[in-house]
Amino acid sequence: MQLHTSNNKQAGLVFISPASFASTWSAGQGLWLRPVGIAPLNALRTVLDADSALPLAGGPYGFTHLDLVTGEKAAGYKAARVSIAEARQITKDEAAGQLAAITGPRQAFAGLPMDRVQVMGIVNVTPDSFSDGGRFFDTEDAIAHGRGMAADGATVLDVGGESTRPGAEPVSTEDELTRITPVISALAKDGHLVSADTRHSAVMGPASLRERVSSTMFPASLMKVQQR
């Protein structure tokens, strides 16, 4: 299976031949690996041996090739698309740690296994949501919406009480809690995994799984929450 790209520019990279990469790169230089040729692993294994198709993050998908990337911002970046065997031959032990990280299984997150797709359902308890236009601003409507998404397969329900669309007015912590707390409580009581979509550290407590947006706006207070 050949996926080599030679002397082409792609996504800010200059692709060169594997031979050119091998002759110009040396251990100690920057090196990044990017898996490509991704497909269901069981399908790949029907036509390739185990060393020619490796698992991606320990999951059901695998990859057959790697982009070897090196360089720096000032001088630019170069890459070569190579087979797994070629990658090992060119990089020796230099890429072993990265390759192990790419292929190894991920730890469960909030009790959810990471070897399969997990779907997050978004519940916007706002009058000015950019995605649903405020259809679920009413508490009971928001709860029903969350339950419906869970029934359809969502494994996490993400409840937000402040719109982050451009030009939206900021919402006070008190108003945000008033909007989301009853929704979170009802959905959590049902047994659903719930997260709070918020940028306010004082709002993060009510949810059993914490997710935040624009956290860099309040780094000091968020750091205190993380340390508790």
Residues 123-169: tens digit of each pLDDT? 999 998 777 778 999 999 999 999 999 999 999 999 999 998 888 88
CATH of residue 214: 3.20.20.20
More confident residue, 110 or 35: 35
pTM above 0.85, yes or no: no
More confident residue, 221 or 125: 125
CA-to-CA distance for 205 and 78, rounded, in angstroms?
A: 45
Residue 145 φ/ψ, nearest 5 degrees? -65, -45
Let me know: does 84 contact 35? Beta carbons within 8 Å. no
Same domain, 70 and 126: no
Residue 15 φ/ψ, nearest 5 degrees? -85, 135
Name the domain count of the chain: 2
Residue 109 placed within a domain: no
Return the number of other C-beta atoms located less than 10 Å from residue 5's C-beta: 17
Counting Cβ atoms within 10 Å, is residue 157 exposed (0-12), middle (13-18) or buried (19+)?
buried
The letter for the amino acid at 68 is L
pLDDT of residue 211: 41
pLDDT of residue 117: 87
Structural domain harbouring 42 = 8-103
